[in-house]
């Protein structure tokens, strides 16, 4: 049944605050671009090899951090209201950590002995990891989000997100922002930067804008500047 069906004609409920989807969009973009980089890797080009493996390392670090934060903050909130609801997803988290340990070891081996078969092996295992991660994240968005919405108000969900942000180092926040900015819609981007503008010191907010400009095309960058009132052409 449409949850808006009982509202007066012409009105719609505002969407609930979503703890999952924006971060998952960032991770999906990071995963697919890293996968493509490894897939076209020239193992005889040391600079290209180093760049690709550094990106794999950063992806695995951010993915591990994301799982840890989900376990500590999001799953804990769900379990407090509905014990056992996150068990299956939590077991998948354990499997994902094991997979990432294997990918890290393969990346290290490729760095030490760069061969085409080793690069192909890393690529194929990364393909499987990305495919399984996509299914996993979609399950969280469609199965766990409704549980959060049924037990928590949007203000409480924002508090959970703030606790996650407070537990993230500036380096990892910058890494997430670099992939989040191009992965979300212009409206979401404007809202998040408006939040940052209120929360951050001027120098830190300016640094976030520099990141945004570096990863957005001209049209998307102008939309963001216009939304923030930064003298851009609409």
Report residue 101 as tokens: 């340990």
How much is the pLDDT for 234? 41
- For the ranges 2-6, 48-52, 115-119, 170-174, the lowest mean pLDDT is seen at 2-6
* SS3 assignment, position 167: coil
How much is the pLDDT for 15? 81
Mean pLDDT of 90-94: 97
Domains of the chain (ranges; CATH) run: 21-169 (1.20.120.520), 185-234 (no CATH)
pLDDT at 10 over 60: no
* Reported pTM: 0.90
Confidence of residue 14 (pLDDT cuts 50, 70, 90): low
List pLDDT tens digits, range 142-151: 999 999 999 9
List pLDDT tens digits, range 93-139: 999 999 999 999 999 999 999 999 999 999 999 999 999 999 999 99
Continuous segment of H or E residues that includes residue 93: helix 87-112
Confidence of residue 13 (pLDDT cuts 50, 70, 90): low
Mean pLDDT of 55-69: 97
Mean pLDDT of 27-48: 97
> In the 8-state DSSP scheme, what is residue 128?
H
- Alpha carbon separation from 203 to 80, 132, 166, 191, 198 (Å, rounded): 39, 39, 18, 19, 12
Confidence of residue 80 (pLDDT cuts 50, 70, 90): very high
How much is the pLDDT for 9? 46
CA pair distance 64, 94, nearest whole angstrom: 10
Instruction: Please name which of 204, 205, 160, 146 lies closest in space to residue 23, comparing C-alpha atoms.
Output: 160
CB 74, CB 19: distance < 8 Å: yes
Q: What is the mean pLDDT of the chain?
A: 92
> In the 8-state DSSP scheme, what is residue 216?
S
- Alpha carbon separation from 127 to 33, 34, 106 (Å, rounded): 12, 10, 14
How much is the pLDDT for 111? 97
């Amino acid at each position: 049944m449409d949850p808006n069906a009982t509202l007066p004609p012409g009105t719609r409920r505002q969407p609930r605050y979503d703890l999952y989807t924006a971060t998952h969009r960032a991770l999906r973009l990071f995963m697919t671009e890293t996968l493509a980089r490894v897939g076209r890797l020239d193992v005889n080009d040391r600079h290209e090899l180093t760049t690709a493996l550094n990106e794999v390392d950063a992806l695995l670090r951010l993915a591990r951090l994301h799982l840890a934060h989900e376990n500590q903050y999001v799953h804990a909130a769900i379990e407090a209201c509905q014990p056992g609801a996150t068990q299956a997803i939590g077991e998948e988290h354990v499997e994902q950590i094991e997979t990432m340990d294997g990918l890290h070891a393969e990346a290290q081996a490729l760095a030490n002995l760069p061969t085409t078969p080793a690069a192909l092996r890393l690529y194929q295992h990364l393909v499987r990891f990305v495919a399984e991660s996509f299914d996993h994240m979609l399950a969280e968005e469609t199965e766990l989000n409704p549980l959060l919405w049924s037990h928590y108000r949007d203000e409480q969900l924002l508090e959970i997100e703030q606790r996650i942000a407070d537990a993230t180092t500036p380096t990892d926040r910058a890494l997430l922002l670099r992939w989040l900015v191009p992965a979300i819609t212009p409206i979401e981007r404007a809202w998040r930067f408006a939040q940052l503008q209120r929360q951050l010191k001027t120098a830190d907010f300016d640094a976030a804008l520099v990141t945004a400009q570096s990863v957005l095309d001209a049209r998307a960058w102008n939309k963001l500047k216009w939304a923030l009132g930064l003298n851009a052409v609409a």
